[in-house]
Structure 1
Amino acid sequence: MPHTPNANADAHGALPPSPLPDMDACRILGVYSMSRRTRTGQGTTSQGHDQKTYWFVRRSPEGEYFVQALNANSIPSGPVTPVPKGAFLAEYQPESGYYEKRCLPYIESLKKKIAQADRHLAEGDLDAAEKEFLKALLLDEKHPKANIALGDIALRQGNGKKLAAALRRIFDIDTLFLEQERHLFNEFAISLRKDKKFAEAVAFYAKALERNDADEHLHFNIARAMAESGDAAGAMGQLEKALALRPDFSQAQSFLAHLRAGVPPDEADLPLPDITALGEIPS
């Protein structure tokens, strides 16, 4: 199995998590390998083994290098990790033709399945869309969009068992809770809240806050879910955190004032949008 870079600076120089650039603006460098010498056994039975892992590599317009592990189907999957230039040049070796011959066929197949699923969704055919998204997961079990879409389909179908299964998968995918994927889970969390699945919505935002506690929008959104679930005290605590990060956050100021006055969220005559880094989403 591919080895994923540690979030903290590790043996191969991976940097701590940070906001990533637009990956579409990065240049694809192809697949590179990294070799490690490992030992098994002890004493006279100790043996050395060379472990070779493969990585999909992109370079930003600013010259930063980003690596992503390949899954069993040679598809880039999971977290995208920045690597210092010096460590990259010293430790990664290009694998000529690997990307074109091994990766692209599977990547194109995955794209076709996602596109077909999207067409079924646009037509309102949830069952057909579900089948295509499940096919996509056979190629990339951590695909953010496919997993979120399956959760949303289960929610719309009212299928609690499928929704629970989707939620378990989603919570195992740290990539979803990083900056570049946040709009995906935020839309799903909004749907959960509107469907009165408050515990699930709160859990989503709490997971995201583990990755980025300095996002006032996340504190605002989790406050909405908490307030609507009846946890006014928890909601006020989250709003206070949002305002500590951004004192001029007008929606948070108004919402907090109403909660302190004992006005329930559904009776507060307030514009309360769900807010993300991409902008406001009307309720």
Structure 2
Amino acid sequence: MVQQFPQILGVFSMLKEGDIGTGGTKRNRENITYWYVRILSPDDFEVQPLNQYHVPSGIKNSVKKSQFLTTYTPEPAYYRMNTVPALESLARKIRQGNEAFANGDLNEAERQFIKALMIDDRNVDANMGLGKVYAEKNEFEKLKKVLETLLSIDEVFVEEQRKRFNEFGISLRKNGYYDESLRYYNKALEFTKKDENLYFNLARVHYERGDRDGCMKSLKNALDLNPSFVEAQKFLSHCERLSA
């Protein structure tokens, strides 16, 4: 049977010893931290710290199996009693938020997504959901704040999330938030240079900011990737006529 990765391994602890104080007050102290662990491959493990609510949140790091086995200790009881219920609560709030959004109850959706973010303020799905609510409500100052969080989370730029997040960039552009929209597209392009739609949307932001050169450059990048991109061809021809 072929193993499928990643696999959730559970919660592990790491014990570190260090000295605190100086001189006569110096003493040794043990510090225990808890980590959510997934197996990425037979030799690679992913560790992510748990926050105060016992859910994984923060920077993920890859650790080789040899280092992992000598550094981390399994905590099955902690995982079962703390992390599993917290993750279930988080997932339930996100699900309820999405259901409320689908039913058009934006206030209830906002409430559930905010409750989810109280458990994990960097959760991608909860932030995405709250962003959808604020975009639908035309509350763009609040959407900007959500965007700040999302721009700092690399997970946003995986394929599925990037397509959803792209809607926020379009919404911000349409409502005059050009700088924020530019930040999104430039950040997204750090993760992929092969999406002609990103370049096309970036070109529209440049155009509406009055930066025709930036617009034309982005359109040419889009057409380099997809020479048959009709909308980009028409847009570039329009810009070239204006510059003639």
More helix by share: 2
Q: 1:98 aligns with which of 57, 78, 97?
A: 78
Contact 1:79–1:174 (CA under 8 A) maintained in structure 2: no
Contact 2:97–2:129 (CA under 8 A) maintained in structure 1: no
Higher RCO structure (Cα 8 Å, ≥6 apart): 1
Counting matched residue pairs gives: 237
Is 1:30 paired with 2:10? yes
Is 1:250 paired with 2:230? no
- Separation in 2, partners of 1:140, 1:151: 15
Contact 1:148–1:188 (CA under 8 A) maintained in structure 2: no
> How much does 1:239 deviate?
4.8
Q: 2:239 aligns with which of 233, 245, 262?
A: 262
The alpha-carbon distance between structure 1 residues 151 and 90, as it changes in their structure 2 partners (threshold 3 A), is same
TM-score, with length taken from structure 1 = 0.70
Structure 2 partner of 1:215: 193
Structure 2 partner of 1:85: 65
Q: Which amino acid aligns with 1:30?
A: G
3-state SS, counterpart of residue 57 of structure 1 = strand
Moved more, 57-66 or 27-36: 57-66
Contact 1:68–1:81 (CA under 8 A) maintained in structure 2: yes
> How much does 1:135 deviate?
1.1
> How much does 1:117 deviate?
1.0
- Separation in 2, partners of 1:159, 1:192: 10
> How much does 1:180 deviate?
6.7
Contact 1:236–1:256 (CA under 8 A) maintained in structure 2: no
* Greater Rg by CA: 2
Contact 2:199–2:219 (CA under 8 A) maintained in structure 1: yes
Q: Which amino acid aligns with 1:250?
A: P
Structure 1 partner of 2:99: 119
Contact 1:239–1:252 (CA under 8 A) maintained in structure 2: no
The alpha-carbon distance between structure 1 residues 82 and 250, as it changes in their structure 2 partners (threshold 3 A), is farther
3-state SS, counterpart of residue 78 of structure 1 = coil
- Separation in 2, partners of 1:62, 1:227: 49
Structure 1 partner of 2:167: 187
Q: Which amino acid aligns with 2:35?
A: W
TM-score, with length taken from structure 2 = 0.80
Is 1:226 paired with 2:206? yes
The alpha-carbon distance between structure 1 residues 256 and 67, as it changes in their structure 2 partners (threshold 3 A), is farther
Q: In percent, how many aligned pairs have the same letter? A: 38
> How much does 1:47 deviate?
3.2
Q: CA RMSD in A?
A: 3.1
> How much does 1:84 deviate?
1.9
Structure 2 partner of 1:131: 111
Structure 2 partner of 1:10: none
